Structures are given as C-alpha cells and as structure tokens.
Amino acid sequence: MCRITNFFKLIFLCLLFVTNTANANGSSIRIVTSFSILEDLVKELGGEYVNVVNLVDRNSDAHMYQPKPSDALAIVDADLVIFNGLEFEGWISRLLQNSGYKNKQLIASKGVDAITYGDEVDPHAWQSFHNIRVYIQNITRTLIMLRPQHTDEFMRRQKQYLNTLNALEHRLIEQLAKIPRDNRIVVTSHDAFGYLGREFNIQFLAPVGLSIEVEASAEDVAAVINQIREQQVNAIFVENITNPRLLQRIAAETGVTIGGRLYSDALSNTDGPANTYLNMMRHNIESLITAFNPT
C-alpha cells in the first residue's frame, strides 16, 4: 500500500516538475522573417522555442514584394523581426516604420563578406556556405539573448545544424572538383548566384541584373547569346522566382537545352526539391554538376 502511495507521489512530483519547467521556459519567441530561407533557418535553430510568421512566400520574389496589411499586424505582435539586409528587402524599413514596431530587429547578413559592384551590393549572400554560417551565428546569438535560459539547447541545435551543413559542403566540393573549371559556366535569369560562383569557381551569366525589377534589354540578351556561342556554354537554368520565357528564347536561339530549375531567392514548396536551405544548396549544386558533365 505504502509502495503504491509512494509511486503516485512520484508521478505527482514528476508532473509538477514538468509543469514548472514548462512555465519557467516562458512562451516561445514570436518571430517574423522576411523570406522563406530565413524562416527555415530560424525554425531549424530555434526548434520548439520559436513561433515564426514568414512574409514573402516560397517560390516568390522578395525584391518586388508588396507588403500586405496582415504583415504589419504580424510585425506588431513580434518579439523579433529578422530580414536579410544588403538592400534585398527594399520595402522592409517602411513596413517596420508604418507598423510602429519597437522590438528587436536582426539583419541576418550582418558581418558577411559581401560582394559589391561599384556602389551596388549583391544581396544574395545566403547562396554561400561561408556566409550562411554568419547568418546562423547571428540568429543563434539573438535567440540566446532573448531566451538565455535555453542557451544549451540553442547551442546544441546550432552545432547539429553546422555539422550537417559542413558534411554537405564537403561532399559537394568533392563532386565539383572533378569538373574542369572551363566547363563551369551557366546561364541563369538574374544575377543571384555571384556568391555561389565565387565560392565554387563557377561562372554565372545572366541577362538581368541583381534584382529582377529591371527587364533585360535587347543588347543584354544579345550579349548573353554571343557568350553562350563563344564559350560553348551547355548549362541554362530557369529560376523558381522568375518567368522562364526569356531563358526559353535564349535556349531556342542557341540550341542549348534548359538544364532544370535553380532556387535563388526562395525555397520550393514543402514537397519540392528545395524545401529547406540545405536541400536548396544540394539541389542547385548537384543540378549544376549534372549539367556541366558532358554526356
């Protein structure tokens, strides 16, 4: 009898402990992210301690995004707003201002090794394993600042994520090393892969510039077509956030087949090949390797 009572006491104490721990944890951090790549990183690094609302959807373009009234409402309720910076989200400062947001802001790219062309900065810094580690550190550091009681858990998640990232990077470097540098030329819709190109010695050509706001001129298109012919480029890829029509025209004129789709500024749908940041990097680089390999 006594043993049974003790057993129930123990259960009760356990329950009490669990409940108290849950209360001590506080509520999850309410975070707004500007685009899907940041949403994925924050969920991976924050786990159960974050509640994320994302603004620019998967497969959507953040350069030309028009904020919705519901975005301002999500921001007002947030503890933390995370965006890329490097002039990627031209609309974010006005949105923050209009919503009267006063809590913490994090520019995820802060401290990256940015690429600049004259006075223009390339915002696509996440397309680099080296830079994404800076994003990861910035995010983890901010989560710890907001919930220091979960430091161990945030550090454990960061370590685990970095281990997976490192292993993927290593494997892709080894695969790409087999391809001669002269073969590593690819045409994409807009200049979104400067960082990937720098890191993996891949030359990306694009008829449109850093943002897709400006349409390609006839001269730009002609220049790309000439380059494809002169350098015998055999990789043309459409992007998930842009209309493929222009590239289809270039492919038809040069007789080069389109090698598939690259994910530049947004993840794919959840059932797609680039549904997470890691899967996006894997999909993009493996697709390029396949296209570079002469069959």
* Positions in the binding site for Zn ion (CB under 5 A): 192, 265
- Least gap, CB of 160 to Zn ion (angstroms): 29
- Least gap, CB of 254 to Zn ion (angstroms): 24
Rounded to whole angstroms, the Cα distance separating 279 from 272 reads: 9
Nearer to Zn ion, 71 or 122 (CB): 122
10 Å Cβ neighbour count for 105?
17
Nearer to Zn ion, 46 or 194 (CB): 194
Nearer to Zn ion, 132 or 192 (CB): 192
- Least gap, CB of 115 to Zn ion (angstroms): 13
Nearer to Zn ion, 29 or 56 (CB): 56
- Least gap, CB of 34 to Zn ion (angstroms): 13
- Least gap, CB of 231 to Zn ion (angstroms): 24
- Least gap, CB of 124 to Zn ion (angstroms): 6
Nearer to Zn ion, 33 or 254 (CB): 33
Nearer to Zn ion, 124 or 283 (CB): 124
Nearer to Zn ion, 29 or 267 (CB): 267
Report whether 230 contacts 261 (CB < 8 A): no
Rounded to whole angstroms, the Cα distance separating 147 from 8 reads: 34
Question: Taking phi first (over 0 means left), then psi (-120 to 50 degrees means alpha), and beta for anything else, what does residue 43 get?
Answer: alpha
- Least gap, CB of 277 to Zn ion (angstroms): 15
